[in-house]
């Protein structure tokens, strides 16, 4: 079982211990939080110094974000032959195929279509077994999706540790699987409610606006009895915490654990 440390800020490199054989570095949820070239170079150097494998994590992006991301992808490709890149955006996927075809493509968890909200636990024991099974499966069970992955050389897919559990049995055994622990994301959007949260004059304004990266200083805990567990809003994304190790790991359903010591945003 491979263990990877996932950090989105270079200062969190202090979490790196001898337990990890791979470093995930980057940003899944906001193009404004992409590392700069100096930070990325430092992460690559740290991985090389520790003889760790390296994975660059990328978000969904606008056209402007794609231009910025391309510079980082070029830097990764120049420093690491056959670098592993997690994509969460089809435009990024297309760019990788056209310009960085030597890189190893990993399909990110934002593109993994599963029921994510914790409210599902209110009904999971009240529905027929066939429905329960459905909610524990992903779209990677679909033959057309499996053919797409094979045709485009995508050898690995990423999973969240969802409350209802995950049934990996229908996933092509040739496709390797990673599991992110302990933070699972519920939803994400470019309409960031943290932006300008310190400015009372902006309290009624929601939009894709300039920000001062307030998400790096504030985390909001959301509590509602319907949800069953607390939700965590960090920037433009809602998460929940699930530290329970699923049975699928013990049965060899995944071969990589991606540990997030901090909310990856």
The pLDDT profile of the chain, 265 residues, written as one tens digit per residue, is 899 999 999 999 999 999 999 999 999 999 999 999 999 999 999 999 999 999 999 999 999 999 999 999 999 999 998 889 999 999 999 999 999 988 999 999 999 989 898 998 898 899 999 999 999 999 999 999 999 999 999 989 999 999 988 888 888 888 999 999 999 999 998 887 776 666 766 667 666 777 777 778 888 898 888 888 999 998 889 999 999 887 767 667 899 999 999 999 9
Q: In what helix (H) or strand (E) does residue 209 lie, and over which residues does it extend? A: none
User: Is 84 inside a domain boundary?
Assistant: yes
Residue 158 lies in a domain: yes
In whole angstroms, give the CA distance from residue 50 to residue 34: 23
Contact 65, 94 (CB under 8 A): no
Whether 265 maps to a domain, the answer reads no
Alpha helices in 136-193 (DSSP H): 143-151
Q: Specify the number of domains making up the chain.
A: 1
Q: What is the CATH number of the domain that holds 165?
A: 3.20.20.380
Q: Is residue 95 part of a domain?
A: yes
Is 218 among the domain residues? Answer: no
Q: What are the angstrom distances between the C-alpha of 222 and each of 114, 123, 208?
A: 22, 21, 22
Verdict on whether the full-model pTM lies above 0.85? yes
Give the integer Cα–Cα distance in Å for 25 and 83. Answer: 12
3-state secondary structure of 115: coil
Residue 138: inside a domain: yes
- Residue 233, classified by CB atoms within 10 Å of its CB into exposed (0-12), middle (13-18) or buried (19+), is buried
List the domain range (segments joined by +) for residue 174: 2-185+240-259
């Amino acid at each position: 079982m491979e263990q990877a440390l996932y950090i989105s800020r270079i200062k969190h490199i202090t979490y790196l211990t001898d337990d990890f054989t791979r470093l995930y570095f980057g940003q899944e949820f906001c193009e404004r939080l992409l590392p700069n070239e100096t930070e990325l170079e430092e992460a690559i150097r740290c991985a090389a110094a520790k003889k760790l494998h390296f994975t660059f994590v990328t978000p969904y992006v606008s056209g402007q974000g794609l231009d910025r991301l391309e510079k980082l992808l070029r830097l990764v490709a120049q420093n690491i032959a056959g670098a592993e890149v997690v994509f969460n955006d089809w435009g990024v996927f297309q760019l990788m195929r056209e310009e960085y075809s030597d890189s190893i493509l990993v399909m990110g968890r934002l593109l993994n279509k599963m029921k994510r909200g914790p409210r599902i636990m209110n009904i999971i024991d009240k529905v027929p077994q066939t429905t329960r099974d459905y909610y524990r499966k992903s779209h990677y069970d679909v033959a057309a999706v499996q053919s797409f992955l094979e045709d485009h050389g995508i050898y690995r897919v990423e999973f969240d540790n969802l409350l209802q559990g995950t049934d990996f049995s229908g996933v092509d055994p040739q496709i390797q699987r990673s599991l992110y622990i302990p933070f699972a994301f519920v939803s994400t959007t470019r309409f960031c409610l943290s932006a300008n949260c310190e400015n009372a004059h902006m309290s009624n304004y929601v939009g894709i606006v300039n920000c001062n990266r307030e998400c790096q200083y504030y985390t909001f805990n959301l509590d509602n009895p319907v949800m069953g567990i607390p939700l965590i809003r960090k920037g433009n994304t809602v998460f929940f915490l699930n530290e329970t190790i699923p049975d699928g790991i013990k049965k060899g359903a995944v071969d990589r654990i991606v540990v997030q010591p901090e909310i990856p945003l």
